[in-house]
A and B are shown apart, each in its own frame.
Chain A
C-alpha cells in the first residue's frame, strides 16, 4: 500500500497486466523510452522490452488499425491515443472497425482492444488537447466507455477493461492526473466495468456524476451536510453502458436528482441518464430532473475553460434549486 497519483495508479495497473498476460501489448506515440507524455507508461518498456511496449509512427488511424489487426491474431492491445481530441483521426478504426468485430463475425472473432486516452480539461493546454468526447463515443454500439474519478478506481478499472474481451475506451481525466492521491494496494484488484458506485450516501437528493465532476459533487455534498442536507453522490464509472439500477434505487430513496457532466449538454451521457430516469422512475420524483453541463460551444480556448467547465458552485446552485422545488 502506497499513496499514488491517478497516473501512478494506472501505471501500476498496466504493470500488472503486462506481467500477468504475455499477450498484452502497449503502444502509441512516445509511450516507449519517453514513458508517455504524461509518464503513464514510465519504466514499462525498460521492464518488459520493446516487443511488448513500443512507439508507433505518428498516425492515430494507423495506431488503432494496428490494434484491430493485432487483436485478430491473438494479442491483447492497449494502445494509447495521446489526447482524446486526436481520436477524431481514428473514428473509423474505433466505431467502424473494432466496435463491430464481434458483431460482424457472430462472436467467432473479436479484437479485445482497450484504448487509453486523456480527456477533460482545466489544465490550460493547446487546442484539441482538452476535450470531452464521451458524448460522441457513448453513441457507438459495441464499445464500452469507462472513466475513473479517483486513483483507486483508475487502477482497478484499467485492469478490468483490459481483461474484458470487448473493446473499451478508457478515458483518463487530465485534471485528476496529478491533483489527487489515494492509498493504492500493491496487489491486483479489479473495479467492475459496468457498475456505478454510490460514493456518498444521502437521503435528500441524488447527484449523478462521473470523473472530475464526482469530486466537485462531493465538495457540494460536504458543504450541504453542514446544513443537515443529505446528498447522495453516484459515480457512474461506466458511461456506456450506464448502470441505471443504481441510479433508480437512489432516486427512489431521495426523490430528487441532479445530473452532472463536464461535457457539453447536447446529446450526451447526462441526457441518457435523465431520459432513463424519466422513462422508468419518474413517479419517484418530487422535482424535475436538473442538469449541470457545459454549454454547447466547441471546447473552449484555455483562457475561458475555468468558467466553461461546471464546478462545485454550479452544482450547488442546481442542487439548491432542486431541493427547494
Chain B
C-alpha cells in the first residue's frame, strides 16, 4: 500500500469550482425591484415602454398563433410562451445589417429583425415565400446546431467584407450538446469573427431536462473552452437580456471576436404546436415558481407603479396586435399554393436535363 500523500491534482476541488464564476446579470428582479440602478439609468422611459410592448407583442403572437394552429390553419410552430424577455431583449440589441441565424423557436426574433408575420405563417405552412423575407437572415434552422457552424462562416464573411455588422444566432440548452455548437464557437474564436451565440436555456429539450444534457453546471462555461467570453443573464428580465446582448454586439463588432450568452428562461408550455404533454416529464411544483417568474409580470408592475402602463393600455395593444396577426394570416391565405414545379426550378441555378424533364411533367400535372 502506498503511503498517504498529498494529491498531485485535486480533481474534486477543481470539479466543485467549475462554472462558479458565472453569476446571472439582472437589472429588474421578479418583484419589479431595480437591482442594478446603474444599468437601469441607461434606459429612457420611452425605451422601457417599448420593451413592455415587445413583450406583449410576442405574448399576443404566441396566443394568436396557437389559436390558428389549433384551428388547423398553420403547420409547425414552436411555442414561445415564457421566453419573451429572452427573445425580445436580445434581438432588440442588434442592428438591421446584422445577420440573424435563428432556430425554430426564434420566429419572433426573425419578425422583429425584418420578416413579416405573414412570412412567418408561410414558413410554418411550408411555403417557400415564407423564406423570402427582406430581413438579413436565414430561415429558422431545423437541424439543431447547424446554424452555429454557419454563424462562424457568416461572421467571417462579414469581417472579410469589412462590414460594421455581426452574425448572431440562437439555439437552446439541448443545442449546446451538439458538436456543431462547439465547432461553431471554436471556428469563430479561431478567426476572431464577429459572432454572438445566444443560448436560450429554457430548461428542456422536448422532454429531457437541462441537467440531463450535460454535467456542466452552466452552459455559459462551454464557451470558455473555445476561448470565448461568455455570460449568464436572467432570461426573464428583458432589460438585462438587452443590456448584455448590446454589450456583446458592441464587443464583437469592435473586432474583439465572438461572445456567448446563456439566457436563463423557461418553456412554459409544450415543445411544439403538434403538442406534447409536459405533465409526462415535469411536475406542477416545478412549473409554478417559473410561472410566477413570468417576464411580463415584473415589467408590467414596474411600469404601472411608475404610471406609464395600465391594464387598459395593455388590453388595447393586445387587441391591436391580434388584429394585425389576423390580417397577416389573410395575407398568407392569399398566396397561391407552393408548386412542385417551382421547387424543381430552385434545385439548381439552371435546371439540369433530368430536372428539366421533370419540370415539364409537373407543369402538366399542376396545370390541371
Contact = CB atoms under 8 A, between A and B. Distances in A.
Contacts of A110: 349
B157 A75 contact: yes
A103 B343 CA distance: 6
Interface of A: 25, 51, 56-57, 59, 61-62, 64-75, 92-93, 96-97, 102-110, 141-142, 144, 164-166, 194, 241-245
Given A51-B160, A166-B349, A66 B139 contact: no
List 3 tightest A-B contacts by C-beta distance, closest first.
Answer: A69-B153, A65-B149, A73-B157
Contacts of A245: 353
A280 to B, nearest CB: 11
A107 B156 contact: no
B347 A62 contact: no
A68 B187 contact: no
A61 B156 contact: no
B146 A105 contact: no
A70 B195 CA distance: 13
Interface of B: 99, 128-129, 131-132, 138-139, 143, 146, 148-158, 160-161, 167, 179-180, 183-184, 186-187, 190, 342-343, 345-349, 352-355
A272 B351 CA distance: 19
Contact of A69 (B150, B342, B343, B347): B150
Contacts of A165: 349
B160 A75 contact: yes
Nearest to A99: B347
B146 A93 contact: yes
18 contacts: A59-B179, A62-B149, A65-B146, A65-B149, A66-B149, A66-B153, A67-B153, A69-B151, A69-B156, A72-B154, A73-B158, A75-B157, A105-B128, A106-B342, A108-B132, A166-B348, A241-B353, A245-B353
Contacts, number: 137
A102 B346 contact: yes
A134 B292 CA distance: 56
B346 A69 contact: no
Nearest to A141: B347
Given A67-B153, A68-B153, A61 B161 contact: no
Q: Which of B167, B183, B343, B347 has the most C-beta atoms of chain A within 10 angstroms of its own C-beta?
A: B183
Given A69-B155, A70-B157, A73-B99, A194 B132 contact: no
Contacts of A51: 160
A102 B152 contact: no
A66 B131 contact: no
B155 A104 contact: no
Given A69-B156, A165-B349, A106 B149 contact: no
Contacts of A242: 354
A65 B152 contact: yes
Nearest to A90: B149
Given A72-B157, A245-B353, A62 B139 contact: no
B345 to A, nearest CB: 8
A97 B346 contact: no
Contacts of B139: 104-105
Contact of B347 (A66, A96, A103): A103
A243 B353 CA distance: 8
B153 A72 contact: yes
B146 A106 contact: no
Contacts of B154: 69-70, 72-73
Contacts of A68: 149-150, 153
